[in-house]
Chains A and B, each alone.
Chain A
Amino acid sequence: MNTFNSWLLFIIILIPLIGAASLIFIPKEQKNWIQWIATTLGFITMVLSIYAFAAYSHDAGGFQFANSWVWLELPSNPLFGQQAIELNLGIDGISAPMIMLTGIVMFTGILASRSIQESHKEFFVLYFLLISGVFGVFASLDLFFLFFFYELSVLPMYLLIGIWGSSTDFKTFIRTKEYGAMKLMLYLVAGSVLIWISILAIFTESGLGTFSIPALAKVGFDTTFQLIVFPLVTLGFGILAGLWPFHTWSPDGHVAAPTAVSMVHAGVLMKLGAYGIIRVGLFLLPEGAEQWAPVLLGLGTVNVIYGALSALGQRDLKYVIGYSSVSHMGYVLMGIATLNVIGLSGAVLQMFSHGIMTALFFVVVGVIYERTHTRDIEVLEGIAKHMGWVAVLFLIAGLTSLGLPGLSGFVAELLVFIGLFQTYPIAGILGIIGAGITAIYILRLVAKVFFGKLNEKVWNSLLDNKFSKQPDSNYWERASSVVLAITILIVGLFPFPFMEVINTGVNEILASMAGSL
């Protein structure tokens, strides 16, 4: 079992890659084969990722399932001595839930993409590449590979959105899928430039000649250096986390992306950013974090309120959810900026919770869009009559989003708020008000789109003929959304086991911060 454990993360990263490689060799026409292979591999990966979380011992703490492979021997030089770039894997209490999140969202995403019409094979190949990259980022303990996997996860997004996405005409403006893909790509690459600069800066400044995060964490960088590099790191990763005012790629990307990609994008990819801020920013540059926290907090607060208000003013379902993601990622940033145990734990749990919740949102909206070919709130009305499952699941996601107790969002936001009140009460109050605005836009949307009298004529004109027999979600989509809904409920009602693990990770980060301050 020990050998298995030490190879576990490697296997988790490898399986999607194998999936991508093996799908290449399957003829295009064998749609069933492709889907079944994708589903099976996805399921195995999900099980392994859940196992990684469950088997993470919160008593022992630290980096577990750790293993490393030398990738490149650096030439010996007088400055650094003999060193090597290693593929250094391991997870702690913060990355463990993220691994599980990725597993769940990825699998449900595969279930939800059964309805993809064209180029199945290529879609799943790229999707698996993306997933492998995401797992890699969460599991890497090495800045070099963190960046490597980060890029691996970012690049397929362009093709996934550009090819399988959808363009929409919003009367006053048009958003094509190419536009969305290009914007997303440019933003993320801009972010990764900043990240790469700061990674190299850290590498050179440390003088260790290693990219290993645990080794770098012990260095204790110069204060001025930290003050300069921390904003670079935060901005670079923050772009990915939807940091205001660098958030516009996210709603546009969502609108253009196909369902599964939206799910992974909002559910997991945005978390990469927040995770990077914690892992690189807080862990390696604690003093910089300490100094810059108020700024991050301010931006996070803007994110929350601004995102919520923007969501209020949208007409397109996906835009509403896109801006709600911006708003919710604001809570994560705020939680990170508190730099105390409660707030930071809340932020990590919010990452998990939001990932699941927003994935659920996108599954459901994807179903609506596929059936009716519209996402316009003004056009849709009373569709709960024919789409019972969709309505109920959307309501669950919506209630999670507005922080209803018993669902995961409440626990996470509550912890963020408590953490905020310990340090910045005003921001805490604004955060709670943001949750209030969230209630307004979610409930308005639910009341408008799902409730009310259904105009059968309009409905029949909207409904795609393919689905006239069963307008409600099919079994695959149901399975996908029910898995997500159940996860939300479990975390909401019994957060204790999750918090135990998250707490270990957060405590270690804060301890290392306290140690270096």
Chain B
Amino acid sequence: MDSNNTIGLHAAWVIPLLSAAAFLIIVFSMRLVGFFFSDRNKLAMLAPIVSITAILAGFILFWLVLLDVLNFDGGSISMAWLIVGPAEIRWGIFVDKISVAMIGLVTFISLLVQVYSIGYMKGDRHFEWYFAIHALFATAMLTLVLADNLLFLYFAWELVGLGSYLLIGFWWEKRSAAEAAKKAFITTRIGDVCLLIGIILLFRETGTFNISEIFHIAESGEINNAILNSSVLLIFIGAMGKSAQFPFHVWLPDAMEGPTPVSALIHAATMVAAGVYLVARMMPIFELAPEIMLIVMIIGLITFIFAGSMALVMNDIKKILAYSTISHLGLMMLCLGTGGVAAAIFHLIVHGIAKALLFLGAGSLMHSISNETNIWKMGGLRHRMPITAVTFFIGAASLAGLPPLAGFFSKDELLLSVLHDGQYVVFAITLLGVFLSALYMARVAIVPFFGSVPKNLAQSHESGSIIWVPLVILATLSAGVGFLILPLGSTYPGWAEFINPKHHFEIKPWLMILSIILTLIALILGWSIYVKKLVSAKQISQFIPYLHKTILNKYYIDDFYQWVIDKCILTFGRLVALFDRVVINDTVVDGSAISIYLSALKTRVFQTGYLFTYGAAMAIGASGLTILWWVLLD
């Protein structure tokens, strides 16, 4: 370890370790508790206490790291993990502003989600296990954002995948949950395979996994352009997998099969943030590959519009939120494609807070109405659950981009970044997407809370304090965090400059006004459709029935993948297995054995068993050999 490290840097590597320790403690105590105490439930609270303590300590340490970064600009420390011949693989952390921001987000959201989960998951059969995976998940994500080399990052990246697998499949006794977990792991795994190839390609060219060293070498132009491009593309595909970009988005809506707080965590802070973070972190080499940047932008744009359209027609509240997440992730990617790291990270944070809020709110909603998720079967719940309703509105409005909530600022920043890039077509389409996102946010916020209460929901009531307190905290932040974009005092020159000193805080009044107008139109439209029923939603959907049906069926992409997996890959696998058994095994292997057996059947008739045959053969053979011997001798 280097010696000139500040205290913040040392605090940073403790953060993931705390969660890791929590994971181990819970896992081992789970068995011990069962072993020593017949009544496990009495000690069930041990698990959340351990894991929340760890993450809370992490959150406190975050402030230490933040102060440090504000003053000293971060740094890195590492230790050797594996030395093989010329390759030295190190475990190390690297603290800069992006990673600090991410640590803050991850620890904070995890903390709130875990607290919330105490109430939400009470009485579950695997209560302790749930918190253990949470701790593991937090460890992985924190490691990921701190990693200073690509391999270590990949290490954490895969553990994030594992965490999501375990959490999505937490209720594994449900077939759909098991399938969703599998789908999430396999889909992201496809990205991971590409990511690993990209990382190793870069290693082959540079001889190091260290991110900043790779940047140095890449910037000096020592990497072959084609290889640089392909490895950057491969890394981006990895990011697409984790961040659910088109066409890898299919796993995210299915991930709803996990407990709702898990969705909040995955959508807001951990899993999907990883891809955006990776691209932001690797931005220096992305910038060396402008073609790939274009691809990033296009993929982001497609995802943004495409997921937005699906969010607009879904009926399941969690699915709407899921597609909205995909859509916003697309927006972040789009922004990253234009080089706007600061804006993308800022939106990641704002969106994370708001989305956590929305999911926890949705969870609170579902908790009190016996896990109903169809928004059309809800209604008028704002009176029954006022806190949930208000906080939900704040979150939705923030994502819709209503000033002065945080989403307004971040969206503004994103649009600015896109505009700077000079792609006006892209900018126009982005505006369309912004409009869409405001519209579906209006829909998801209005339908459950307005209108008349269905009969079966008459008994619904506000959730307990352990559930609504996190909601309130998140709502407050969601409203307030946007002001971080502005320069605050001397140490903090505004977000853009904080992340990248070359950038400066700027504002374009016409753009602000444009986005406000768009948002307002969308909200009014939503209000008139879903509350005033001026226009029937059904009529609109009948307008182009095929389009509606297509969108409702998720553009048939899920079906297509299912078909590819079931029909193509599995069939191919079965064919190979059949080939192995029939051709290689039965024909070649057993065939050669059988052909020997069959030829033995033919030749065995020479063994008559009669003395005569053997004797004659012997006599003639002996004479023949003697003659042969003479012939050879002469």
- A-side interface residues toward B, CB under 8 Å? 173, 183, 186, 245, 248, 252, 306, 309-314, 323, 340-342, 345-346, 382, 384-385, 399, 402, 404-406, 410-411, 414-415, 417-418, 421-422, 425, 428-429, 432-433, 435-436, 439-441, 443-444, 446-447, 450-454, 495-496, 499-500, 503, 506-507
Contact = CB atoms under 8 A, between A and B. Distances in A.
Given A312-B573, A415-B84, A447-B182, A399 B197 contact: no
A499 B84 contact: yes
A462 to B, nearest CB: 18
A439 B197 CA distance: 16
Contact of B581 (A173, A183, A411, A417): A173
Contacts of B82: 411, 495-496, 499
Contacts of B80: 496
A384 B178 CA distance: 12
Contacts of B165: 443
B201 A404 contact: no
28 contacts: A245-B588, A248-B584, A252-B585, A309-B577, A310-B573, A310-B577, A311-B573, A312-B570, A312-B573, A313-B573, A313-B574, A323-B580, A342-B85, A342-B87, A384-B172, A414-B151, A417-B200, A421-B201, A432-B200, A439-B189, A443-B185, A447-B182, A453-B173, A495-B81, A496-B80, A499-B83, A499-B84, A503-B84
A311 B83 CA distance: 33
Contacts of A454: 173
A404 B85 contact: no
Contacts of B182: 443-444, 446-447
A288 B310 CA distance: 60
Interface string B170-181: 001111011101
A102 to B, nearest CB: 23
B201 A436 contact: no
A309 B173 contact: no
B190 interface: yes
A122 B82 CA distance: 44
Interface of B: 80-87, 151, 154-156, 158-159, 162, 165, 169, 172-175, 177-179, 181-182, 185-186, 189-190, 192-193, 196-197, 200-201, 203-204, 565, 569-570, 572-578, 580-581, 584-586, 588-589, 593
A418 B179 contact: no
B576 A313 contact: yes
A385 B126 CA distance: 12
A-side binding surface: helix, strand, loop or mixed? helix
Nearest to A414: B151
Given A429-B197, A433-B193, A443-B182, A496 B81 contact: yes
B589 to A, nearest CB: 5
A435 B200 CA distance: 15
A411 B186 CA distance: 20
Contacts of A495: 81-82
Contacts of B159: 404-406
Given A414-B151, A425-B204, A443-B185, 11 more contacts: A310-B577, A312-B577, A313-B577, A323-B580, A342-B84, A345-B84, A406-B155, A418-B203, A440-B189, A451-B177, A496-B81
A453 B85 CA distance: 49
Nearest to A446: B182
A451 B576 contact: no
A402 B196 CA distance: 13
B172 A450 contact: yes
Contacts of A453: 173-175
Given A341-B86, A422-B204, A453-B175, A417 B162 contact: no
A425 B201 contact: yes
Nearest to A179: B590
Contacts of B589: 183, 248
Question: What 6 pairs across the A-B complex have the smallest Cβ distances?
Answer: A312-B573, A341-B85, A313-B577, A451-B178, A313-B574, A313-B573
Given A173-B581, A306-B576, A451 B85 contact: no
Nearest to B174: A453
Contact of A447 (B154, B178, B196): B178
Given A406-B159, A436-B193, A451 B580 contact: no
Residue from A311, A414, A432 having most chain B Cβ neighbours under 10 A: A414
A222 B201 CA distance: 37
Contacts of A425: 201, 204
Contacts of B179: 447
Contacts of B185: 439, 443
A314 B575 CA distance: 10
A385 B569 contact: no
Contacts of B585: 248, 252
